[in-house]
A and B are shown apart, each in its own frame.
Chain A
Amino acid sequence: MEQKLKTDFDKFISTSNFSNQEIKLKKQALDNFLKNGFPSRKLENWKFSDIKQIIQKNIGELAFYNNYNIENEINDDIFIKEIEHNKIVIINGKVERLSFEYEESDKINLTTLDNFNQNSNDDNSLLSLNNSFSNKIHNILVKKNYLFKKPLIIYQITNEKVSNTNINFQLNFELEENSSIKIINLSDDNSEKNFINNLFNFNLGKNAILKNYKIDKKSNTNIKYDYSSITQKENSISETFIFSSASEYIKNEVSCNLEGQYSSAFINGIHLLSKNKHHEIRTNTNHLYENTKSYQLIKSVIDESSKSVYQGKIYVDSKAQKTDGYQLSKAVLLNEQAEFNAKPELEIYADDVKCSHGSASGSLDEDSIFYLMSRGLDQKTAKELLINGFLLDVVEKITDEEIKILLKNMIGLN
C-alpha cells in the first residue's frame, strides 16, 4: 500500500497546481499517514469499527489518485424542489458549483485556503489522509450580523466514473459574530466500493448559530468516514442532526469544543439499519469554559444482521464549572443477528457540574405491541408504529420548522 500511496501522491501533485506551501503541508500529512496507516481496532476509538479491516474486506486494493481535472456534468433532477435553497455541488470530491443565489453577495466571502489546519492527531490518521489528498479547500465566511435567508444544501455526489478509490473532501466554514447558517448535507451515491473521507470544519464566533443536518438515505456500497469539527465561542449554538441509514458502512464523528461561556452544542442522531450494515456515531464534546451546555440524543433501530455503534464522550475541563452535559442513547434490536455496542464516557475534572449519560438497548416492548394489537392493528403495523414513534422523538428535536417538515417527508417518518 505504501508504494501505491507514494506514486498516487506524486501523480496527484504533478497534475494539480498547488502552491509550494500547500505541497509542503500535504507531504507532511502524507508522512503522518504513512507512519500510522489506517486505524484499526487496536486504537480505542476504533474498537467497535475496525476500518482497516472493513476496507480490506469490502474494497481490497484502494487507489488514492483521484483526477480532479475531469469535468462532471450536474444533473439538475437531483435538486430538492420543496424548498428554495443555496447549493454547493460536489462530485467525486470536487466542488463543481457554489451558488448562493438567495444571499447578499457582499455578506459572504468565498476563498480557497492555502494554509490548512493540520489537525494532526495520532489517533486519527484519516485526517492526515484527507489533508494529503484533498483538492483545494474552499472556505465560506459568513460576515458579522448576517443571517442566511435560505438553507444551504450540500449535494455530495459520486458517479460511476470512480470505483475502488479513496475520495477525500474538505470544507471550511467561518461564522463571524451574530451570524447564522443552516446546512443540509445530502449524499447521492451512484458509485460502488469507494472509501469516502469527509472533513468539515466549523468556526463559530460570538453569538453565531450553526444548524447542520446530515442525511444518508440513498443505498450504496461505499464506505464512509465523516468528521465534523466544531469550535464555539461565547454564546454560540451548534445543532447537529445525523440520519444514517443507507450506506454500507459509515462512521460519523462530531467533535465540539465549547471554548466560550454560555455556548451550547446539541447533537442528535438516528441509526435506521437493515441488511448487513455497520454504522457508528461518535461524539466528543469538550467543555472548556464555564457555563457551557451539551446535549446528545442517539437512537438506533437495528434489523437483520446490521450493527450499530455509539461512542459518546463528555469531557469537562477543570475550568469549566457549572457545566451541564446530558447524553442518552437508546437502541431497539429487531433481529437475533443484530448488534448494538455503546461506550458512553464521562471525563470530568470540575466539581460544580451536572453530567449524566444513559444507555438502554433491548427489544420492542411486548406490552405495547399487545396493546396496539388488541385495538385492531396487525403485528407488523403495530411494530412500525412503535418504531416510528421511537425515532420521531429525535426528529422532533430539529429546531428549524421548514427543514423539519422536509426531512420528515424525506425520511418517511410522520
Chain B
Amino acid sequence: MSDNKQKMINVTIDNKTVSVPENTSILEATRSLGVYIPTLCHHEDLCVAGNCRVCLVEVKGSRTLQASCATPVAEGMEIFTNSRLVRTARKHVIELLLSEHRGECLRCSRNGNCELQALANEYRVDEGLFIDIHKEDQPDISSPAIQKDDSKCIRCQRCVRACTELQSVSALCVAHKGADMKITTFWDKALAYVVCTNCGQCVSHCPTGALTEKNYVEDVWDAIYDPTKHVVVQTAPAIRVSIGEEVGLGPGKRVTKKLVTALRRLGFDSVLDTDFTADLTIIEEGNELLQRLTKALRDNEDVALPMITSCSPGWIKFAEHEFNHSLNHLSTCKSPQQMFGPLAKTYYAEKIGVDPKDMVVVSIMPCTAKKFEAARPEMMSSGFRDVDYVLTTRELGLMIRQAGIDFEKLEDGEYDSILGKSTGAGAIFGTTGGVMEAALRTAYEIVTGREIPFDGLKITPVRGLDGIKEATLKIEGTLNKYNFLEGAELRVAIGHGLANARKIMKQVESGESPYHFIEIMACPGGCIGGGGQPIPTTNELRLQRANALYEEDEKMQYRKSHENPEIIEIYEDFLEKPLGHKSHELLHTSYVKREKN
C-alpha cells in the first residue's frame, strides 16, 4: 500500500513522549530518542529474528517483556528500557550466553571487537553466575577461507540469515533442537565439502569469534623474514578505502599512499597494485565482450550471451554449484588477483631478476573467497602457485598493529613499477557497478573512438546500492570495424549479493535474460562490503567506502583502463594483444561443474 501520509504513533519511552511512523519497531523508536538498547541477533542487513532476547524492554500492561527489535510500536504504548525487570533479564540473558560460549577472549581473533565481550563488559559479569556448558567441539578448519568454531557460537543465527537471505547460498543452517540446537551444514559436513562459496558474509555478520577467516598472518611474516624470498604484495581496489577503519581512522578514508608506505614498512619487497590487473581485466574482458557480440550479431554464431563478469570468486563458486549449465556465460577472464599472480611470477620476476621459485605473492583482499580462489588447483599458470597467500583487510590491519606502525603519521608512498600503476577505472572495481562502469568507459571508446557520453565519465545509472541495476546504452557513430553495432542498444545489468545473482541467473537459465553484459559481485555492495572487510559492515559504511572509491577515481590522472601507460607497455612488451596467446595462457581460465547439493 502506498499511502503517502504515514500514520504517526505516539509512545512514551522512559517517560518521554515521542511520535514515530507506524510499523516502527520499539528498537528504532528508542534509538530515535537517543536511548541505546543493546542487541545481538539484530543486524540491519537481515530480517528480524527476535531470538537472542538481549534487547528486551518492558511494555506497560504486557505480561512478558518484549523484544524491542521485533515489536512494532502501538498507540499509547508505555515503554521502559531500563527498569529493574529489564536489567535483571538482560543480565541473565548475557550470563546464559556466556555460559554456552567458550570465553577465551585473550586467544580470540575477535578480542576487542566482539559484541558479546562488549556486553559482558557493560554488564560487569565478572564471576560466572551459571555453570559452564560450552561444547568442546574442535573448530572446523577444513576450508582454506573460513573457520568455524561452534564453542564460541551464541546461536543468534545472523550467519544463517546472511547465508540464506543475502546470499541465497544456504550452506549454513540451524539444525537439531533444544540443547542440541546448533549452526551447522548439510549432514554436519565440514565447510570445505558443502556448497559454501567462501564469501565470508557469515564472518562479517558474526557477533563473536565463532566464524572467522582462516588466518595466514604468521605465514606471511615467515615469508617476509625469509631472506631467500622476494615477497610481492598486491592491494585490492577496495582495501584502500577500508584499511583506515582497521587502524583507527574513520570510515570512508582514502589512504592509498599511506597504505603503500605501511606495506613497505612491514617488509614487503615489491609493493604492487591489483588495480593494475583490474585495468588489465577491463582490456581482456572488454575485448572478450566485443568478440562475443561480433560473433553473435555479425557472424550469427552461437555464442553465450549475456556475458557475465568473473572477478568475484564467491560468485564463481556459487555459479559452479548452482548454475553449472550456464558456465559458458562467464567471462573466461581470471579475476584481477589471479591475473596478477602469474604476471608477477613470469614477467615481473624476469624484469627484476628474481627466480619465480623464490618469489612469494601475497594479496591483500577485502574477501575471504580469494583465499579459496588462490588455492584452486588450476591457478598455477606461472608453473608455481600463482598467489601464495591471501590476507583480508582485517589481517593486514592486524599486521600493521603488530608492527607498531602509527598509520596516520605515515608519509605518502608510491607503488613500484611495473604492475603498480592504475587508473580510476581500476579503483572503482571495488564497488558494485564499478566493473561495469570501467568496462563501458573502455568498450564504448573501442567501438566508437569517442569517450562515453556521461558527464565527468560518471555513469550514474550503474552506481548505488540497489540490489539489481539496469542500464541501456545506445551505440551511435561506430568505427568501421564495429558498424554492425550501429544504433544497437547495449543492455547491461548489475547484481550484488548472491541472492540477486540468483534472480539474474534464473533469467539467464530460462533464456529470458534481455542483457548483453552483466556484472555480478558476490557481496552486498561489492568488494567494499566484502567478507574480509572491517567488522561491522553496514549500508552506511558501504556507501562511505564506495564514495571514497569514486573520489579516488576522480582524483586519478588516468580514468580509463586502456589509457594506463603500464597496460600499454605490458601489451607492447609481453602480452602482445588482448585475447592473444599469452593472455590465454596466463590470464584466462575455465570453470568446474560442482554439485548443487
- Tell whether A and B belong to one assembly: no
**Chain B residues with a Cβ under 8 A of chain A:** none
**Chain A residues with a Cβ under 8 A of chain B:** none
